[in-house]
Structure 1
Amino acid sequence: MLRRAPELPRAVNDRLNRLATSVFTSIDANDPKRTNNLHSKQSRIEIDYSSSLPLQMLLYFNVCFFPCWLFSLTFVLPVLAVTSSNQHVILMVFAFVFKAIIEFVRLYLGYAGNLAERMPELTAFCLLTIIFQLPLSVFLLIYQLLAKMQVQLALVFAVEIIYITFLVLQMIFGILAVRIMVTAQSSRFHYQQFEEALPTNENVSPSG
């Protein structure tokens, strides 16, 4: 039996929920005009699932590529230590290690948020992608040129270009998934209210 992944703390959940509804979507989730036809069969089918298949495919390939990226570091770091100054080595190693640690957390949040339809985790996944991983990947891609290092590491360019492609696509589909999830959760809430109010309305006899 598969165990349910642990959820984020309640305070973090609430803040990420507010951030998702205010930043990643411009639609009012409580607008009653969008919930007029929730009693229809098609509407009930559309709000059953809000996970993103393209995002999940990107996460799967990202998980497969991540060990290759880690394995490439075993070739890069010794070369940096031999051919570059201590300052360059410290910056590159710090960026590699920091990115690897964040990537473990980011991929977990992406899987938990998309498959389990958890909006806080998916919002945190988008924030980590935008704030940390994209800048770190761009830094690792261009730092060799800016620092005028003696040895240009083609392996770093190759893996970081692939990673940046993953990150940009995941950022786009992740934000779209958050927007869909906000709408779907709001629709489920209003549909539940409609289902609860329907028996009450049927029991009330018509006036006059």
Structure 2
Amino acid sequence: MLRRPPELPRSVNDRLNRFATSVFTPRDTNDMKPGNNLLSQEARIEIDYSSSLPLQMLLYFNVCFFPCWLFSLTFVLPVLTLNGDNNPIILMVFAFVFKAIIEFIRLYLGYTGNLAERMPELTAFCLLTIIFQIPLSIFLLIYPLIAPLTVQLSLIFSVEIIYIAFLVLEAVFGIYAVRIMVTAQSSRFHYRQFEEILAANNSRPPSG
């Protein structure tokens, strides 16, 4: 029997829930009209899941590509320590290590949030992608071109381009998945309220 992955702490969970609800709840009333693609209320009630298949495919290929990125990291870091000035090397090493640590957490949150339909984890995945990973990847892509390094880092340039493509697509599909998840949970909540009101009205004895 598979165990459910552990959830985030309650305080973090609540804050991410409030953030996702306030940011990704549709402001346009047309989003809740029937027939409006996947964001309609009726479609969200009828569909039993709100996970994103494109996002899951991107996460799968990202997990497969991540060891290649780690190999390039372990290959380039010794070269950086033996060549060039200390200041550019320290920045590069710090960016590499910080990105690797964040990436482990980000991929775990993405898998958990998308497969288990956990909105806080998926929201944290989107935030880590946009706030940390995309800027770090752009930095690692551009910095070797402008820094006074004595060694050309073609390997880093090539893998970072691929990684930026993964990150941008995951951010787009992740935000879209959170938006659908917020709408689905809101629709199910109002639908349950409607059923409870109907059940309460049906259980009342007729007046008179």
Q: TM-score, normalised by structure 2?
A: 0.89
Q: Which residue of 1 aligns with 2:37?
A: none
Q: Which residue of 2 aligns with 1:164?
A: 164
Q: Which residue of 1 aligns with 2:46?
A: 45
Q: TM-score, normalised by structure 1?
A: 0.89
Q: Which residue of 2 aligns with 1:179?
A: 179
Amino acid aligned to 2:139: F
Amino acid aligned to 1:133: Q
Contact 2:137 2:164 in 1 (8 A): yes
Cα offset, 1:205, TM superposition: 6.2
Aligned length: 201
Alpha-carbon distance change, 27 to 78 in structure 1, aligned in 2, over 3 angstroms? same
Q: Which residue of 2 aligns with 1:18?
A: 18
Map 1:135-154 onto structure 2 (within 5 A).
135-154=135-154
Residues 13-22 or 154-163, more deviating: 13-22
Contact 1:35 1:187 in 2 (8 A): no
Counterpart Cα distance in 1 of 2:157 and 2:10:
40
Cα offset, 1:150, TM superposition: 2.0
Q: Which residue of 2 aligns with 1:66?
A: 66
Counterpart Cα distance in 2 of 1:131 and 1:88:
22
Contact 2:126 2:171 in 1 (8 A): yes
Uncovered stretches (5+) of structure 1, i.e. residues with no partner: none
Contact 1:59 1:111 in 2 (8 A): yes
What are the superposed Cα offsets for residues 121-153 of structure 1, whole Å, 9 maximum, x if unpaired?
Answer: 110000000110001000000001111322221
What are the superposed Cα offsets for residues 4-55 of structure 1, whole Å, 9 maximum, x if unpaired?
Answer: 1111111111111111122234438xx8x9499xxx9866323x21110000
Amino acid aligned to 2:192: Q
Map 1:127-138 onto structure 2 (within 5 A).
127-138=127-138
Q: Which residue of 2 aligns with 1:5?
A: 5
Amino acid aligned to 1:143: Y
Q: Which residue of 2 aligns with 1:86?
A: 86
Amino acid aligned to 1:150: T
- The alignment partner of 2:151 has SS state of coil
Counterpart Cα distance in 2 of 1:144 and 1:26:
41
Counterpart Cα distance in 1 of 2:52 and 2:206:
45
Alpha-carbon distance change, 83 to 42 in structure 1, aligned in 2, over 3 angstroms? closer
Q: Which residue of 2 aligns with 1:116?
A: 116
Counterpart Cα distance in 1 of 2:42 and 2:21:
26
Counterpart Cα distance in 2 of 1:97 and 1:56:
25
What are the superposed Cα offsets for residues 165-189 of structure 1, whole Å, 9 maximum, x if unpaired?
Answer: 0000000000001100100011111
Counterpart Cα distance in 2 of 1:42 and 1:170:
24
Q: Which residue of 2 aligns with 1:197?
A: 197
Alpha-carbon distance change, 55 to 41 in structure 1, aligned in 2, over 3 angstroms? closer
Residues 143-152 or 119-128, more deviating: 143-152
Counterpart Cα distance in 2 of 1:41 and 1:109:
28
Uncovered stretches (5+) of structure 2, i.e. residues with no partner: 35-40
| RMSD of Structure 2 on Structure 1 (CA) | 2.3
What are the superposed Cα offsets for residues 96-130 of structure 1, whole Å, 9 maximum, x if unpaired?
Answer: 00000000000010011111111111100000001
Identical positions, percent = 75
Counterpart Cα distance in 2 of 1:206 and 1:161:
70
